[in-house]
Amino acid sequence: MKIVTTIKEVKETINEWRARGLSVGFVPTMGYLHEGHASLMKEAKKQTDKVAVSIFVNPTQFGPGEDYDAYPRDLDHDAAMCEAEGVDLIFHPSVEEMYGKNYNTYVNMETLGDELCGKSRPTHFRGVCTVVTKLFNIVNPDKAFFGQKDAQQFVIIKRMVKDLNMRVEVIGCPIIREEDGLAKSSRNTYLSAEERQAALILSQTIALGLDMVKNGEKDVNTLLTAMKEKIETEPLAKIDYVEVVDGETMQKVNTIEESVLVAMAVYIGKTRLIDNFMYEF
């Protein structure tokens, strides 16, 4: 497994693979890798000949006052996990390598970022779309693998690839959870023991919502009221949002009749955690 820090080295390696007729799978990450990331690498391994992983805490997707500086980083641990998963290349660039002097170009989404995380983090998806476009141009993968844990991000990336005629195929992979249900996240490391326990309210509320929808609940207000009441039973939890949006347009709906995304962001202490489920009819 190679670990490289420059765009030039990535392009050289990938060109060499392409010259040998090998297909390339790509898993973009911000590092501090866990089983959720590993599941994407496993899927990439299954579907493509060579697997590249990027590890880059992307400053442009963090807003002012967010956790860019505090975001956990551990390259040795990440490299060991990638090696164990049979990854062929890690791209670990510096901020300067990605956003050089006089950097001036951004990729903006129109309405898909209006609700959910885009509402609470107004510049977030601009940063995500920009870095993912740059990474796609650098790695030039056949397939790229994203987790449903960041469901809005997944829908946005798929839209961007279609709208901008990019050649990559975007593959979605299911949410990986801890045994007790908490969705795995690099940010779980911020939680104290008491907060870790309190964080279960997210997955428990997702389970409640999914049950209600499966049992035929169609009214979004009734669903959201029940979910919010459940979250409010946990004193350490503070709701950022709980919303139901159309699975494709990401706009709010009043009735559950088409494919929907039910998603939430909840602060547990100072840590903002997300969880969701998609429901298709």
Q: Write out the catalytic residue numbers.
A: 37
Nearer to ligand AMP, 156 or 256 (CB): 156
User: Candidates 68-76, 183-191, 236-244, 259-267 — which segment interacts with ligand AMP by CB under 6 A?
Assistant: 183-191
Cβ neighbors of 101 (< 8 A, separation 6 or more) are none
- 33 alpha-carbon distance from chain centroid: 12
**Residue indicated by tokens 């009221």:** 225
CA separation for the pair 228, 226 (Å, rounded): 6
Across the chain, the runs of DSSP E, i.e. the strands, are: 2-4, 24-29, 50-55, 89-91, 143-147, 169-173, 237-246, 260-268, 271-279
Q: How far is the CB of 4 from ligand AMP (least distance, A)?
A: 19
DSSP state of 45: H
CA separation for the pair 267, 274 (Å, rounded): 9
Of 187-246, binders to ligand AMP (CB under 6 A) are none
DSSP state of 234: S
The neighbouring-strand residues paired with 29 are 55
User: Candidates 76-84, 141-149, 214-222, 238-246 — which segment interacts with ligand AMP by CB under 6 A?
Assistant: 141-149
CA separation for the pair 7, 19 (Å, rounded): 18
User: Candidates 91-99, 173-181, 190-198, 257-265 — which segment interacts with ligand AMP by CB under 6 A?
Assistant: 173-181
Nearer to ligand AMP, 182 or 245 (CB): 182
Among 176, 182, 191, 274, binds ligand AMP (CB under 6 A): 176
The yes or no reply on residue 183 touching ligand AMP (CB under 6 A) is yes
Nearer to ligand AMP, 93 or 223 (CB): 93
The yes or no reply on residue 260 touching ligand AMP (CB under 6 A) is no
Of 16-45, binders to ligand AMP (CB under 6 A) are 29-30, 36-37, 39-40
The yes or no reply on residue 175 touching ligand AMP (CB under 6 A) is yes
Contact 275, 227 (CB under 8 A): no
Residue nearest to ligand AMP (CB): 147
The yes or no reply on residue 186 touching ligand AMP (CB under 6 A) is yes
